[in-house]
Amino acid sequence: MPASAMCKGTGSLARTSGPAGSSRPRPRPAATADETSPPGGAANLPPSASFRERMAVPVTPEDILKVLEQPPRRPLTAREILAPFDLKRDERQSALHLLDELLASGAVVRRSDGRFQAVALRSLVSGTISIHRDGYGFLRPEDADADDVFIPAHALAGIMPGDRLAIRVERSRRRRGQVEGEVVRVLERAHQELVGRFASARSGGIVTPVDPHLPGQILVAPDAAGGARPGDIVIVRIERYAGREQPASGRVLSLLGREDDPAVEILAIVHKYGLPSEFPAPVAAAAALLPGEVAAADLVDRVDLRALPLVTIDGESARDFDDAVAARIEANGCIRLWVAIADVGHYVPAGGVIDVEARERGTSVYFPDRCIPMLPEHLSNGLCSLNPRLDRLTLTAEILFDQSGKRRESSFYAAVIASRERLTYTRASALLDGDAAAEPVPSEVMDSLRTLLELARRLRAMRQGRGSLDFDLPEAELVLDLQGRPEAIVRSERNQAHRLIEECMLAANEAVATYLAQAGAPILYRIHEPPNAEKLIAFQQFVAHFNYGLNLSGSVVDPLELQKLLAVVAGKPEERMINQVLLRSLKQARYAAENHGHFGLAAELYCHFTSPIRRYPDLQVHRALRQTLLHPPRREVPPAVVAELAELAELTSARERRAMEAEREIIALKKCQFMAKRVGEEFDGFIVGVQSFGLFVELVDFFVEGLVRLPALGDDYYQFDPELHRLVGTSRRRIFQIGDAMRVVVEGVDLPRREIDFVPVGIVAASPAQPRKLGRGGLTGDRTGGKSGRDGSKGGKNGGRDGRRKTGR
């Protein structure tokens, strides 16, 4: 089964093969400050307390803090603090113990008159904690200009990665006066629910998080186990967070299944990232009320394009078709392009229940064997999808390009189409190659395909001429069996049909952005900011090692300079490493309410228009386009609208990152499972990353990355050179750097951590040219020529991580 999974089935977590996965409860909203607690937020009972006592304390630390923080925030005696709770004698003793813990943590102070007072948060530093596997952590302050603060392991009892904390910053005696933080209060918990493995205990059960980055265990009372058995993977809600002297406690909410079920592994990751698993009943009901086909009334005021030879070109297992394309050569040699995009906004009004849910989801999420769609299946795979030979509503961009690929005119309108063919990339490429074995298409469709290919060549030449970046980095494609286990990892092949579609989509997106910007319409731009000066200088130093120069104007680089560099290194041994280092030097593209250009595409204006079925920003642009066509803006955009757009940009960017991280973890899990059966086997690889602790090596055969730890490199002391991305032996002067070939043995696989360890068994020589003095700017190396790098594609990395692919263009 190919890695590009499709939206299919129930519209929740639909599998394309194998047994259906179970669903999970929808995630609870993030805790507010009122729901949070000081460090050791569980009821801090003494170690001698029984399991039942630990689970049943009626007063929590946050309850005490709420009393102290009630206006007018006056100091209170212990009796006054506990008065609202109507406690029994033993409960009162436990509550006084909690008050002592609050004193010890610094969240509460005792005045000289014996009264208690909560510490004002404004005197503290707040931020988000990340925790190292060795137990210590760093707080990233909310003040962007402030440095991260070290927090020792002993101060992080009951704290989890991602928690929002308030800390007191002070000089540490243990660390020779260096600054470190003391946790005063937990402002917001990152994990109210988590996925874990259930095991029996003498008094109930214990849930161990399946995510190894989450510390500790959760105790579960017998009446809170929800019928879980040892070996079950469960979702548990934390009711008491761990303290210094006792573990956390909680309640099992639902059972996902057995730990050896591949479907359960996916569900655990879905829950980890807070991804929705099913549509709420009101959304499903609203979708069910929509018609099954286009109605005659829907065709009013639409341009009829059903006579055009429009086709969709997608992956083999695609089910949601956003776009259809056609092209025609004019008498003067210009080419007219039609890009018809599903008119989702016609069926999904702003503010309706379907729209609210789509906005919250932000994007469809694609896993190797399933899809979590942004829209219900009735829309995503049916009414909105441009299925062949069916009437469908679209917003269409009609663009005229001259013989050099320059856009001469464009128009946008609501239309009705009927796609002639549902083509796959493989079939479309075979047709363009004249492969006699390819299933034929009508002559007008074939003529359109040839014209589209010629247009793609012109558009690509135009983009490259202005400096658009195309990275040639192969990607892995997983082949799974019917149970969802990995059978093979193969290279994801890209062909001319991928490039054809990508160029059409890029052209349409840019044309729409230009039109709406000139009209003054408020839209979400897709921006890609220039790289930081420090990373640019580091990259300049790196390529100088290979006798290539990079012309920097101060701390700024023209993307055309980078594009020329990529063209020069194409086909050379160092091509892959330079591509990778450059890609890591670039910022990630994101959405914004204001335009800042797109560095990777070398475009002044850019937005996402072509995928409204699977990306919410495209739907926002569609609505702005419809509104502008009907009622062009006549005044400046109100500040409230700009603020709302900025909030939407932040949300949709975050949802995109969440989807990418979840997809990346699924791929990492499947790769680890694949390699776990190959421990002890030897493979050829090459170094793709260098750090002070070791080398990251990618296997040639499987596109799998693993770590060669420093001790495995032999009996020498190695110094890390971050500028040249290499390790240098101090005694034998042996050098390991990005691009070096290395044969390795698979030493071990850590499935929970998604880590693979390699040990080298042989080093294949791969020495770059020695550095030499460079001229002033430009490409000064002797090495020229070589084949051009391939374009970005629907599955590629075009223009600063923004090619046309299922996770974002």
Could you tell me the residue range of the domain that residue 321 belongs to?
A: 286-491
User: How far is the C-alpha of 558 from the C-alpha of 744, rounded, in Å?
Assistant: 40
What confidence score (pLDDT) does residue 225 get?
93
Query: From CA 615, how far away is CA 341, in angstroms rounded?
Result: 13
Say if residue 327 is exposed, middle or buried (CB neighbours under 10 Å; 0-12, 13-18, 19+). Answer: buried
Mean pLDDT of 307-335: 95
What pLDDT, on a 0 to 100 scale, did the predictor assign at position 762? Answer: 64
Mean pLDDT of the chain: 84
Residue 809 pLDDT = 38
Distance CA 57, CA 61 (A): 11
User: Number of folded domains in the chain?
Assistant: 3
Is-contact 256 234, C-beta < 8 A?
A: yes
Which residue in 163, 145, 138 sits closest to 39, CA to CA? 163
**Span 98-125, pLDDT tens digits:** 888 888 777 788 877 888 888 776 568 8
Domain end: 445, 473, 491, which one? 491
Q: Is residue 202 part of a domain?
A: yes
CA–CA distance, 726 with 134 (Å, rounded to integer): 26
Give domain status of residue 680, yes or no: no
For the chain, the farthest-separated pair of C-alpha atoms sits apart, in whole angstroms, at 95
Each residue's pLDDT tens digit, 193-207? 999 999 998 888 999
pLDDT at residue 177, rounded to an integer? 57
Residue 266 sits in the same domain as residue 306:
no
* Helix ranges (DSSP H) in 467-608: 496-519, 533-544, 559-569, 575-585
In the predicted structure, residue 327 carries a pLDDT above the cut 90 = yes
The answer to whether residues 393 and 347 belong to one domain is yes
Domain boundary among 491, 507, 535: 491
* Spatial contact of 583 and 471, defined as CB atoms under 8 Å apart: yes
412 part of a folded domain: yes
Closest by CA position to 721, among listed 690, 694, 760 = 690
Structure token pair of residue 587:
């910022």
Give the pLDDT score at 147. 85
Name the residue with tokens 């630990």: 54
Three-class SS of residue 81?
helix
Residue type, 202: R
pLDDT value at residue 794: 35
Lookup result for tokens 């951590």: 753
Judgement on whether residues 272 and 294 belong to the same structural domain of the protein:
no
In this predicted structure, which of 18-22, 131-135, 507-511 has the lowest mean pLDDT? 18-22
Q: What is the per-residue DSSP string for 702-715?
A: T--EEEEEGGGG-S
741 is written with which tokens? 């070939």
Residue 709 lies in a domain: no
In a domain, 368, yes or no: yes
DSSP assignments along 388-442, one per residue: TTSEEEEEEEEEEE-TTS-EEEEEEEEEEEE-SEEEEHHHHHHHHTT-TTSPP--
Residue 221: closest CA among 247, 244, 243: 247
Please answer whether residues 765 and 771 qualify as being in contact, where contact means their C-beta atoms are separated by less than 8 angstroms. Answer: no
> How far out from the chain centre does Cα 76 lie?
48
> What backbone phi and psi angles, to 5 degrees, belong to 575?
-55, -50
Amino acid in the structure at residue 405: G
172 lies in the same domain as 132:
yes
Q: Domain for residue 32, yes or no?
A: yes
Residue 85 contacts residue 62 (beta carbons within 8 Å): no
Residues 26, 274 contacting (CB under 8 angstroms): no
* Prediction pTM value: 0.80
Q: Which residues pair with 72 in a beta bridge?
A: none
The answer to whether residues 333 and 471 belong to one domain is yes
Count the residues in the chain.
809
504: in domain: no
DSSP-derived secondary structure for 167-222: EEEEE-TTTTT-EEEEEEEEEE-S-SEEEEEEEEETTEEEEEESSTTS-S-EEE-G
* Res 122: pLDDT: 59
Distance CA 183, CA 190 (A): 16
In this structure, the answer to whether residues 484 and 530 fall within a common structural domain is: no
Residue 635 and residue 573 share a domain? yes
pLDDT tier for residue 184 given thresholds of 50, 70 and 90: confident
At 747-758, the pLDDT tens digits run 999 999 999 999
Looking at 423, 457, 491, which one is the last position of a domain?
491
pLDDT for 667: 94
Do 434 and 538 have their domain in common? no
The phi-psi region of residue 559 (left if phi > 0; otherwise alpha if psi is between -120 and 50; otherwise beta) is alpha
Residue 156 and residue 252 in one domain: yes
Checking if the pLDDT of 770 tops 90, the result is no
Q: Do 52 and 188 belong together in one domain?
A: yes
Give 596-624 pLDDT, tens digit per residue.
Answer: 999 999 999 999 999 999 999 999 999 99
Is 667 inside any structural domain?
Answer: no
Residue 598 φ/ψ, nearest 5 degrees: -125, 100
CA distance 590 to 70: 41
For residue 396, give Cα distances in angstroms to 155, 303, 440: 59, 9, 27
174 and 243 co-located in one domain: yes
Q: Which residues contact 510 (CB under 8 A, 6 or more apart)?
A: 407, 601, 603, 605, 606
| Whether the predicted pLDDT of 33 surpasses 80 | no
Q: What is the Cα gyration radius of the chain?
A: 29
Give dist(CA 544, CA 539) in Å, integer: 8
pLDDT exceeds cutoff 60 at 18: no
Which run of H or of E encompasses 264? Answer: helix 262-272
Which two structure tokens, joined as six digits, stand for 330? 């004019």
DSSP string spanning 129-172? EEE-TTS-EEEEESSTTSPPEEE-GGG-TT--TT-EEEEEEEE-
**pLDDT greater than 80 at residue 212:** yes
Q: What does the alpha-carbon distance between residue 342 and residue 153 come to, in Å, rounded to a whole number?
A: 53
* Same domain for 582 and 448: no
Confidence at residue 113, expressed as pLDDT on a 0 to 100 scale: 80
Percent of the chain with pLDDT strictly greater than 70: 85
- Residue 144 has a pLDDT of 74
Contact 302, 360 (CB under 8 A): no
Between 74 and 488, the more confident residue is 488
Q: Which helix (H) or strand (E) holds 491?
A: strand 486-491
8 A C-beta contact, residue 183 and residue 151? yes
Q: Read off the pLDDT band of 483 (50, 70, 90).
A: confident
**Residues in Cβ contact with 732 at an 8 Å cutoff, skipping those fewer than 6 apart:** 716
643-693: pLDDT as tens digits: 999 999 999 999 999 999 999 999 999 999 999 999 999 999 989 889 999
Q: Report whether pLDDT(781) > 70.
A: no
Q: Is 92 helix (H, G, I), strand (E, B) or coil?
A: helix
